[in-house]
Structure 1
Amino acid sequence: MDRDSSSDAHGRHRCAACFRQFNKMEHLVEHMRVARHSAHEPRCHVCHKHCRSFEALRDHLGVGGSSLPKAATCADAFAARGCAICLRVFPGGGAAAAHRAECRLSRTPPSSARLLRQPQPQRGGALALGCKMVGAGSDGTLDVCARVCVVDEGENLLLDTYVKPLIAVTHYRYETTGIRPEHLRGGSNCVSVKAAQQRVQDMLLNGEQPWKVRSSRGRARLLVGHGLDHDLAALAMDYPAYLKRDTATYPPLMKTSRLSNSLKFLTHTYLGYDIQTGHQHPYEDCVAAMRLYLRMRDQKHLPRRAGADDDADAPQQQATADQAFPAWRQRELERMTPEELLRLSTPDYRCWCLDE
């Protein structure tokens, strides 16, 4: 009799997100306090299990040959009716086939990019930044910026210029960058680091005062890229963290071990085409990062909570999330159902779908 009651309790206290089971309700509450599950996590369209990242969801669905024993049903359904790019599962094979043709994007060559000399000002929006580095120092391992590219959400090229480094270049890395010494000797399409920094900053601020951006977004634009801290450091720039959207550090796009994936891998896996082959143009990197951002932003999730409508409120929202499971409410939390606990929980990162 005791064994049956223990089994029933074990089945009742199951996490509504990751399906882990606990003997006591207090253990489930502690799990929710630490796991920080939310509606913004990648979720299986078959069993509705939440995963910490898209890589974990790919393993759950058996994409690429790997599959988990407990998810055999999900893997079979995905193999018949799933899309390996966005990881959605459709009601029928015909709908899945039609979707795959639209979901897989094609490579946009730099030669087709249209350079807008006078971009139209607009409120908000996002810009993607990409830099190509050459080597400096005695062994050529010191990265210095030699080319800068900025792209808007429509994949229009707003800026494409070579940058003359402040120190001598010892390795041009021509095999990948395509940059030659004559490109960095000045001319109409080669500017100083300071000039490049100013042009990028003006595009991002969009007429807003720099001191205002620290506390309120206003007209300033979101900055998208892959490894943004590295690119900004090369330009000797700074930008508020709440306005940066980095595909290298966005938790759903990271590996299950919390390590970053390369932009080349993310583009092949989640956009369906290859980049960084031969001479690498920063325009392709900008377009890939922007497309990844837009796909993450277009994820369908529950509407945001009331009062959470401004980017500048992100630190305050995080502080509120930290108080979602206060210790003094332990008994009240233990009386809640797993579904109610899930609705109360918030992620430990800001989901990009809230940008829309």
Structure 2
Amino acid sequence: MDRAQESTESLRHKCAACFRQFNKVEHLVEHMKISYHSPHEPICAICKKHCRFYDSLREHLIGPLPKAKCAKQFSERGCRLCLKVFPTTEQLIYHRAACQSLTPLPPVKKEQISAIALDCEMVGGGQDGSLDLCARVCLVNEEEKVLFHYYVKPPIPITNYRYDITGIKPEHLMEAMPLKQVQETIQQILYNGEAIWRIRLKGGKAKVLVGHGLDHDLQCLAMEYPTHLIRDTAKYIPLLKTSKASNSLKYLTQSFLGYKIQNGTRDPYEDCVASMRIYKKMRNQDHYQSACLSATKFVSENAVYSRMKQKDLEKMSPEALLHISQSDFYCWCIDSRSQPT
């Protein structure tokens, strides 16, 4: 019975990334075409299994039903924040001091991109107070220094200050900055003081914009920003839930930075700092394979697969299939290597 089972297992075709098994090699090839496995995925440092999300990797290592072998080694030598595993407990102890540090990471080099984090606090407008209006905005740089932090005067009357959440009172907005002036100031900061038309027509360098739920913040500011320069921690695929829904900034900060935020009224500076630290942590990942070095843009389809014949793909080993597979999202680790175009 055992030999028969071993024979059956040996005939099955196992994905070198997620370890899923298939009866036929063509099914494995089809799986690789649509899975987009790549070095940019969260990977278990012990068994080398690829996971789509960090939530999945946490379940694999420290969840209710973890992989026993991996969980044992991780409990002895693993960091619960970055999920890395170290050769010795001494190295783990040394690493924890840096991983759990609340001080900002070193700034990037001059030839690398620089980022600015943005966060807004909303009050309510409309008859029932459900319409979100920006009443406070904050921008910080990579060193977590405040570049802009002002109250904003909404263009229509406020019907709900949402004080329990925002801490904003009517007197705070008596001398608030008009929305139009806020827009102009933010644009000057993000576009390095250059005219927007010059940036768009002549390719000037603008800052990377970091935040959580930036679509909503920009909408409330009545602003637009180039999509390729936005780094949204609410949309970054590895940070999503296993259900592909967005994790809250509060959860991400607790899980990846090791401290709590939003314990009382919300402070946009605190949220800016949290999103910036998460972004820099993701950006500083050192993924293996030379493919990372040459990829300045993510590939929306597995182009190598589309160029090769099916019969040639079926002759390849699972490891070779993984080697030619490409990511379907822009990994932030590429930001540490080159300016996106």
Q: TM-score, normalised by structure 2?
A: 0.89
- Match of residue 165 from structure 1: 154
Structure 1 pair 228/346, CA: closer, same or farther in 2 (3 Å)?
same
Q: Which amino acid aligns with 1:15?
A: C
Residue of structure 2 equivalent to 1:343: 323
Q: Answer yes or no: is the 8 Å Cα contact 2:153–2:177 preserved in 1.
A: yes
1:327 Cα deviation (Å)? 7.5
Q: 2:112, 2:335 within 8 Å by CA — same for their partners in 1?
A: no
1:183 paired with 2:172, answer: yes
Q: CA deviation at 1:173?
A: 1.4
Q: Are positions 1:237 and 2:237 aligned together?
A: no
Q: Which 5+ residue runs of structure 1 have no aligned equivalent?
A: 109-120
AA of the residue aligned to 2:82: C
Judge which range, 123-132 or 244-253, deviates more. Answer: 123-132
Deviations 1:245-295 (A, max 9, x none): 000010100100000010011101110011112222100000000000000
Q: Counterpart in 1 of 2:275?
A: 289
What's the RMSD between the two structures over aligned residues?
A: 2.4
Q: Which runs of 5+ in 2 are unaligned?
A: 105-109, 337-341
Identity of aligned residues (%): 51
Structure 2 counterpart of 1:86 = 82
Q: Which deviations, in whole Å up to 9, do the C-alpha atoms of 1:225-256 show, x marking residues without a partner?
A: 00000000010001111110000010100100
The one-letter code of the counterpart of 1:79 is: S
Q: Match of 1:202, as an amino acid?
A: Q
Q: How many residues align?
A: 328
Q: Which moved more, 1:131-140 or 1:47-56?
A: 131-140
CA positional deviation for 1:209: 4.5
Amino acid at match of 2:319: E
Report what 1:8 is aligned to. Answer: 10
Equivalent of 1:225 in 193, 200, 211: 211
Q: What secondary structure, in the 3-state scheme, does the structure 1 residue paired with 2:299 have?
A: helix
Residue number among 289, 312, 315 corresponding to 1:332 in the alignment: 312
Among 70, 75, 91, the residue aligned to 2:71: 75
On the 8 A contact 2:124/2:133 being kept in 1, the answer is yes
Contact 1:248 1:262 in 2 (8 A): yes
Question: Which residue of the other structure, out of 238, 252, 263, is the alignment partner of 2:238?
Answer: 252
Deviation, 1:324, is 2.7
The Cα of 1:307 is off from its aligned counterpart by 5.5
Deviations 1:9-33 (A, max 9, x none): 21xx211110111122111110001
SS of the counterpart of 2:76?
helix
Q: State the distance in 1 between where 2:111 and 2:295 align.
A: 23
Return the alpha-carbon distance in structure 2 between the equivalents of residues 122 and 164 of structure 1: 38
Q: Which residue of 2 aligns with 1:195?
A: 181
Deviations 1:315-340 (A, max 9, x none): xx535x44232276211111111111
The superposition leaves residues 123-171 of structure 1 with CA deviations (integer Å, 9 ceiling, x where unpaired) of: 8411000101011112211110000100001101000011000111111
Q: Deviations over 1:301-326 (max 9, x none)?
A: 134457543xxxx4xx535x442322
What is the CA-CA distance between 1:106 and the residue it aligns to? 3.6
The 8 Å contact of residues 124 and 220 in structure 1, kept in 2 or not, is answered as no
Instruction: Determine the C-alpha separation between the residues in 1 that align with 2:220 and 2:232.
Output: 16
1:93-136: per-residue Cα shift (whole Å, max 9, x none)?
Answer: 2222232232113499xxxxxxxxxxxx9984110001010111
Q: Distance in 1 between matches of 2:117 and 2:152?
A: 18
Equivalences for residues 100-119 of structure 1 within 5 A:
100-106=96-102
Structure 1 residues 74-102: Cα deviation after superposition (integer angstroms, max 9, x where no partner): 01111111111111111122222232232
Q: 1:124 to 1:2 in 2, by over 3 A?
A: closer
